Structure 1
């Protein structure tokens, strides 16, 4: 997606380019060379690279880069609905709309900006949106890249309606993997989960980690605030920290379903997995004037296949 225009602010490590549809993309860089790229189409993070320039998020080679469809990959913002459990289109409409850059956002905690390159985005419903979901809201999103390369997303959703509203939410995150058969997820053991492959029947996780040998589509309930995704071949671990996001979705389409998706390669299930911080079992209720905040922070640490407690992956971060 070649830029047609570029404006760089070296002091703030922020760049703005346009994709081939003329939609702005914001690139955040830190002094060590790590970067993140955010599109105003859906407020979607479409790239996150470490200081060696290695892409950490998965994007399908067959992804469709054309509104209103969300691009298959990166980190999608799913609001006000995640999945097909409501009256709206799958995963809601926020990921399919054009967001704006907010010049003077309400203040956040100082630590949410200190030493970081960041951008603040705003999404408000159009008249068309209000017809299918009749609730007025303001959705503010801050995406930041820290000096250590950590990627953070803070969503604040305020009800400016005259009546209560309820919503579900997800940071739909596509991680890049070397080989899905060599990946394990720690932090979900002993949890109950809803299995979307079994009519959302409820089960309890029996393994000491989640591994992949076939299609997986699960909602893990009341999960801890830290989840680790270990990639044996890459010898690295993605660490996900989250607040306000009680549930976790784990998804890999495997071979059969991959062949049914037009914007996904037949063999690409081997190089990706989705691990999403979500609110799904108990939707968020907001009374008029109330605001909800959901935070996600992603980091990468070296690891070995010898499983260690999650806390050991966090020491030194």
Structure 2
């Protein structure tokens, strides 16, 4: 399907994805970041910070930032890596993937530059396909090593979901997992509760998470289901 690209007042080019049901998504070329996802009732499903700075080289707070080559501060690079601070391009030769049929999608690519190689001397291509369909948003990432030697990296998609009163929210699917508590100097614990609820500040990284977790918002009578595939050792960061 032809892409609908606009330039808003902030000057950042964005791609608009739409679905016949009325759902929509907005994707910035800056950071390859999804900054809006609305359902068929035009309800916003993603949270964007009111303090977000929509001007490079600052990272934009909210939506779905792409963290590469480093998640958090687990390494010597800048926090969450530099992919979220770079201008991506439309990928005219995307990696082979299942066809999207009539779904609205966009393929983006980020390649290492000479400037990047000064701080992280690894050559790479990072591809991202974003597909919108009824009640569903799918992000598929692929990293290609274009260097002459192997390298390691960490990768994350940070989902800032829009919920009601946090005390009315529960997360299911993380029970019995180990987690690192950032409020306790990254001390390791094991989750004992059947579901996670919130009555104060939380900042945890759950380890080796399952392929599906559910975020249930009782006040809005809405359930988010997050699924992942091909990342068996992936964790989930939970904070409020």
TM tier relative to shorter chain: over 0.9
After the TM superposition, which residues 250-265 of structure 1 pair with which residues of structure 2 at under 5 Å, given as runs?
250-252=238-240
Tell me, what secondary structure is at the counterpart of 2:153? strand
> Match for 1:101 among 74, 90, 93?
90
Does the 8 Å contact 1:118/1:143 carry over to 2? Answer: yes
Q: Deviations for 1:195-220, whole angstroms, at most 9, x for unmatched residues?
A: 11112111000111111111111111
> Match for 1:217 among 188, 198, 203?
203
Gaps of 5+ in 1: 1-11, 253-317
Q: Deviations for 1:260-312, whole angstroms, at most 9, x for unmatched residues?
A: xxxxxxxxxxxxxxxxxxxxxxxxxxxxxxxxxxxxxxxxxxxxxxxxxxxxx
Q: In 1, distance between residues paired with 2:2 and 2:213?
A: 29
Cα offset, 1:135, TM superposition: 0.3
Does the 8 Å contact 1:102/1:120 carry over to 2? Answer: yes
> Match for 2:106 among 97, 100, 119?
119
RMSD of aligned C-alpha atoms?
Answer: 1.1
Q: Deviations for 1:96-146, whole angstroms, at most 9, x for unmatched residues?
A: 000001123132123xx1331100000001111111110000001000001
Does the 8 Å contact 1:35/1:149 carry over to 2? Answer: no
Does the 8 Å contact 1:30/1:149 carry over to 2? Answer: no
So what's the TM-score if we normalise by structure 2? 0.96
Q: In 2, distance between residues paired with 1:120 and 1:13?
A: 12
Q: In 2, distance between residues paired with 1:94 and 1:177?
A: 27
Q: In 2, distance between residues paired with 1:186 and 1:13?
A: 38
So what's the TM-score if we normalise by structure 1? 0.73
1:241 aligns with 2:227: yes
Cα offset, 1:21, TM superposition: 4.2
Runs of 4+ that moved beyond 4 A: none
Partner in structure 2 of residue 291 of structure 1:
none
Report how many aligned residue pairs link the two structures. Answer: 238
Q: In 1, distance between residues paired with 2:10 and 2:23?
A: 26
Q: In 1, distance between residues paired with 2:189 and 2:95?
A: 42
Partner in structure 2 of residue 303 of structure 1:
none
Greater length-normalized contact order (CA 8 Å, ≥ 6 residues apart): 1
Gaps of 5+ in 2: none
> Match for 2:135 among 128, 146, 149?
149
> Match for 1:131 among 105, 114, 118?
118
1:60 aligns with 2:45: no
- Structure 1 window deviating more from structure 2 (135-144 vs 13-22): it is 13-22
